[in-house]
Every structure is written in structure tokens, then in C-alpha cells.
Amino acid sequence: MKLINWKNLTGWVIIVVTLFSAYLICHFKNFNLYFLVLLIFEMILAVRCRKIFTPLMLRTSQFILGILFLFSGFVKAVDPIGTAYRIEDYLIAYGLDYQFWMTIVLSFLLNAAELLLGGLMFLNIKPRLTAWLVVLMMSVFTLTTLYDALYNPVPDCGCFGDALIMTNWQTFYKNLVINVFVIIFLFGRFKLKPVFKNRTEWIVAMALIVFFFGFQYFNFVNLPMFDFRPYKVGNRLTPENPMPVENYLTYRNKTTGETKEYLSPNFPYNDPEWLKNWEFVSQRIYDPNIIEGVNLAIIDFNGENITQQIINNPDFQFFVVAWNIEDTDKRAFRKIKTLYQKAEDANISFIVLTSSSREEVDEFAARLNLSEHLVFYNVDDIELKTMVRANPGLMLIRNGLILDKWHNNNLPKWEAIERRFLNQP
């Protein structure tokens, strides 16, 4: 009878337990000492048992890392502007000066590096060099996310873009889990034999770099290939069947201190005896019609909130999203002006949403001769940047439903809009 190979079994147990810890992260959104100790223990155990991992275990760990890096890099590279916004948040939080050109360059470099390392690990190319590069990147990521978890300078590091939102503690836990596989990969890198010859490896690496930069550039000059934000095509800005807003009132018994919450008006407000013994404590309002992630507030230049009458319009309407009038593409606005004139002939609403001031809007409109053509409204710039990754961008909605969006590099012709949307029953 063959004896159990305890070393092999221990190695696989470490890998499986680490994967299970990754699953547990979804249950620990905040600091948890016991879970933190578990993850640190797994890292120490990986170092202590570094010699027991077989080539298959090493390749498994390398493959897991490759998939993680490819996924993380992809969901950011598909939206390089969104990654640049997260970099801006960090630079602002750390009190560093920034310019958009710098953040977009950093976004391209960071995303390409993550994708490249993921591709190299997935294909087992240059494992000895890749292992050290991964250690360097994960050291920076781990220290950064530890600082985020402790001091919360930014609410979300954006490690998985908008595809997967995690708390700062969850992000730090995630990096500790990844570090277990990095440790296994690092100490076992000499056992991994490259699949390709040295020259072929360099050719593949260069091809991956060109491809990943090209992929990002495509998503930069167009709208993201995949949209993970609440304003993606097909989502709603308002519920199709609105529910009544619920008002809850909390009262406390003056004698016992007992508290009870009532859904208004379902409480004994007309009972004098009850009113004598109970006092009002607090009120909370639950609005079931709020769409998660949508914080759109459309304000006219008189300060009136007209959001509901705009987004609940049962007819077709166009939103031109230009978060900053001064930096917007002026040539695109000339094309937009043509679309507006066609929409006006078809009696379809056509408005511009911007965060710029009235003075800036008036000067801009006069310069492009738009004063008599387009109506401008104010919206928070963060919300506008979330709506469309273009300045300007175009959005078509109807009765709160987002029908389509366009980058200013790909504005549609009016005939195409008519054929696809307006002429449909």
C-alpha cells in the first residue's frame, strides 16, 4: 500500500485554503482581526513550506496569478479614462499636483503592465524575470491598499475598475491572498521551464505590449467596449413602475425606554393615551425608486431641480454630456448643432448637461453661435464623467431608459438614428 505523500498534500491544502480565503473576502467588508491573522498565517506558511511545491503546484499558482492580473488589467484597460480618474483621486488625496495628460499616461502604463504580467504568467514566459516584476508590483499595491484600509484617503482604489467594487479592507485582504501565490511563484520560479525559446519569448512579449496598448487606445478614442457603470445602455435612470416612498417614524416609551418604528401613517397618532406615553425620536425615509449608482441631479441656471421632469419624459430626448465646456471638443459641437436642428424639426428634446458656470456657457455658446440652438443645464461633473466617457458625448433616452450612447469621435448621422430608433413602432 502506497503511503500518502504528506508534502504534496500539504502543498495542495495551502493552495485550496488560500482560494477559499479569497471567497471569504466577500464576507469581511471591514477590519477583522481573525481574518487578517489567517491571511498573514497563510503567507508565512507559504514561505515556510516553499520547498514542497511541485512544478504542477507552481504552474497552478502561476496560472491563477495570470488570470487575476489579466482580469484586473482588462477591466481597467477597457476604460482607461476611468482608471485615470482613480489616479487623480490618489494624487489629490496625497496632496500632489496633477494634470489630466499625466494621469491618462499613468493609466495606460499601469494597465499595460498589469496585462503584460498577466499574459506572461499565463503563457509561462520569462518566469524568473516575471516573478520579480510581480513581487515589485504587489509590494507597491499591498502597501498602498494597507494605507487605504487604515486611513481611507479614497473610498475605492479601483483595483477592478467599475466591474467589481470592493471596500478598502477587502482590497487589502485580496492583495494578501494574491501574495500567497506570489510567494509560491517566486520561490519556485527555477522549477518552471519556459515553453518557448528565448527569442520567441521576447517576440511574444513585445507583441503583447503592442496589443495591450492598442486595446487601450481603442477604448480611449471610443466609448469603452464593455460598460460596467450604472449609465450603460439598457439601464434605467428611473424605475419603470415607481413605488410609493415610505416614511418611517421611531418613537420611544417615556417610562420603559422601549423604541418602536412605525410606517407612517400606521401609528396611533390619534390616541391621546399613546401620545402621552410615547415621544418622537427620529424619522427615516425609504425611497424604493432610487437606482443604485445613479445620483443624477439636473439643475437649471435659476437653481431649480428639474431632474424628474427631464428623465421621466415619455418621448425621445438627447443628452449632450460635456462635463467641462472649456475643454470640450469644439468640432464635435458643430456636428451636434446639426443633429439638434434635425431633432428640433422632429420635435425631440435636445439638451446639454455640463458642470460649467453660466458665464462659461454663455461665452462658449456665443463663440460657437449656439445661443439660440441649445439649452444648457448644470450637473455635477463626477456624475457627467460617469455617464459618458467623452467630452462631449451623446446619449439618447426615452422614459428613463438609456437607448444608446456615442463618443464625439463616432457621432451618428441623423438618418441612422431615425432608422434605428425613431421609425420603430
Say yes or no: 277 and 144 in one domain. Answer: no
Strongest mean pLDDT among 63-72, 231-240, 317-326: 63-72
Residue 239 located in a structural domain: no
Look at 157-161, 210-214, 334-338, 413-417 and tell me which has the smallest mean pLDDT: 157-161
Mean pLDDT of 388-403: 93
Our count of domains for the chain comes to: 3
Q: Which is higher by pLDDT, 19 or 3?
A: 19
Contacts of 385 (CB under 8 A, 6+ apart): 81, 85, 323
Contacts of 288 (CB under 8 A, 6+ apart): 239, 243, 245, 246
At residue 416, the pLDDT reads 92
Helix (H) or strand (E) holding 377: strand 375-378
Cell digits for 17?
Answer: 485554503
Say yes or no: 80 and 126 in one domain. Answer: yes
At residue 2, the pLDDT reads 53
At residue 208, the pLDDT reads 96
Look at 90-104, 181-195, 207-221, 230-244 and tell me which has the smallest mean pLDDT: 90-104
| Band (215; pLDDT cuts 50, 70, 90) | very high
Range of the domain at 250: 246-286
Say yes or no: 10 and 134 in one domain. Answer: yes
Residue 300 located in a structural domain: no
| Band (402; pLDDT cuts 50, 70, 90) | very high
Last residue of a domain, one of 254, 286, 318: 286
Using the predicted structure, report yes or no on whether residue 372 has a pLDDT greater than 80.
no
At residue 255, the pLDDT reads 87
Query: Starting from the edge strand earliest in sequence, which strands make up the sheet with 316-321, in order?
Result: 375-378, 349-354, 316-321, 393-398, 401-407
At residue 242, the pLDDT reads 77
Say yes or no: 268 and 332 in one domain. Answer: no
Using the predicted structure, report yes or no on whether residue 109 has a pLDDT greater than 60.
yes
Counting residues of the chain whose pLDDT is more than 90, the rounded percentage is: 60
Counting residues of the chain whose pLDDT is more than 70, the rounded percentage is: 98
- Asked if 370 contacts 207 with a C-beta cutoff of 8 angstroms, the reply is no
From the list 191, 197, 196, the residue with the least C-alpha distance to 56 is 191
At residue 371, the pLDDT reads 64
Using the predicted structure, report yes or no on whether residue 1 has a pLDDT greater than 60.
no
Q: CA 376, CA 356: separation in Å to the nearest integer?
A: 10
- Asked if 121 contacts 65 with a C-beta cutoff of 8 angstroms, the reply is yes
| Band (158; pLDDT cuts 50, 70, 90) | confident
Residue 233 located in a structural domain: no
The single-letter code of the amino acid at 18 is: T
Say yes or no: 322 and 181 in one domain. Answer: no
Give the pTM. 0.86
Mean pLDDT of 248-255: 90
Last residue of a domain, one of 165, 186, 221: 221
Residue 297 located in a structural domain: no
**Per-chain mean pLDDT for the chain:** 90
At residue 318, the pLDDT reads 94
Q: CA 61, CA 192: separation in Å to the nearest integer?
A: 11
| Band (365; pLDDT cuts 50, 70, 90) | confident
Say yes or no: 253 and 174 in one domain. Answer: no
Q: CA 145, CA 57: separation in Å to the nearest integer?
A: 28
Mean pLDDT of 195-223: 94
Q: CA 62, CA 56: separation in Å to the nearest integer?
A: 10
Residue 302 located in a structural domain: no
CATH assignment at residue 312: 3.40.30.10
HSE-CB for 298 with a 13 A CA cutoff: 18
Say yes or no: 39 and 153 in one domain. Answer: yes
Say yes or no: 269 and 177 in one domain. Answer: no
